[in-house]
Amino acid sequence: MDINSLDTEQSNQASAHIDSASTQEIVRIINQEDHKVAPAVQKVLPQIAQAVDMIYQKMHTGGRLIYCGCGTSGRLGVLDAVECPPTYGVPPELVVGLMAGGAPAFVKAVEGAEDDRQMGEADLRAIQFSAKDALVGIAASGRTPYVLGAMDYATSLGAPVIALTCCSNSEMSRCAQLTINPICGPEVITGSTRMKSGTAQKMVLNMLSTAVMIKLGKVYGNLMVDVKATNEKLVLRSIAIVRQATGASEAQASDAIRRCGGSCKTAIVMLLCGLSPQAAEAALAKADGHIARVLNQ
């Protein structure tokens, strides 16, 4: 592929003279270009929703969500994955971020790692990826060999494969069942896809994981009721969540959480339904973890 033909490699006329601009003008140009990201993502909302349903179908039946990328794209996948356990109380193996070069590449570039197509497959094999799981390949250019190798392997197993790229007519789109491609226009610095493309990818990844967790019952109203209270801030947040959901006092909420083994969700059901912790847990299990379903029974 001629790299100069890629959407992400085009020159941006709005920043053609940014090297001679004042500091105020530099940041104004960057901000003006950033305003183009959200509308680009809005145009692909139908594809994002379709991807959420594909991922949910697998995760609801015991599968995992696997992100696979390189460089900025890989780091964004890892970032989204590692935030899921503390936010939604899920095990760390449920959402996994893979990137070319492994963990060391997160903080320091591993030269040539993204060009290793076989390593994409090898990394999926290493985590025992199967047709039960869902794969999201992430690459702004839509042509990264490492990601393509992973996508080809996942396809051979019959797993759902989703491409997240910022280029049209990409090679990745031809390897995927579904493509999400917000087109944000040329970068402020030509080819620097950590900027608008990276912002668009982060927005999409946030939507994918958040929407799936909502569908899995990890949210009640807009409260993260499966949050893990692993530090002082999250302990206070847990109490605030229970108070907001039930109208309980701080002391009542704290005591309910303690009686329910630290579970906000169980504490909320216990308080709202007048149940014991054990009965609240049973009611949640019957309702597939959704508080609203318990209350509507």
Task: Tell me which of 33, 93, 111, 114 is the catalytic residue.
Answer: 114
Q: 32 to each of 36, 182, 233, 256, how far by Cα in Å? A: 7, 17, 35, 49
Instruction: Please tell me which residue in 9, 33, 83, 232 is annotated as part of the active site.
Output: 83
Distances (CA, A) of 198 to 69, 165, 191, 231: 12, 10, 11, 30
Both ends of the chain: CA-CA distance in Å? 57
**DSSP letter assigned to residue 292:** H
Angle between helices 196-215 and 45-59 (to 10 degrees): 50
Within 10 angstroms of residue 23's Cβ, the number of other Cβ atoms is 7
**In terms of Cα–Cα distance, which of 207, 147, 162, 168 is closest to 58?**
162
Between CA 66 and CA 95 the distance in angstroms is 6
CB environment 97-115: b (16+ within 10 A), e (fewer):
bbbbbeeebbeeebeebbe
What DSSP string describes 46-100? HHHHHHHHHHHHHHTTT--EEEEE-HHHHHHHHHHHHHHHHHH---TTTEEEEET
Is 93 designated active site? no
Query: For 220, which DSSP code?
Result: B
- E strands, the chain, are 65-69, 95-99, 134-138, 161-164, 178-180
Helix pair angle (145-157, 117-126), 10° resolution = 50
Query: Annotated catalytic sites, by residue?
Result: 83, 114
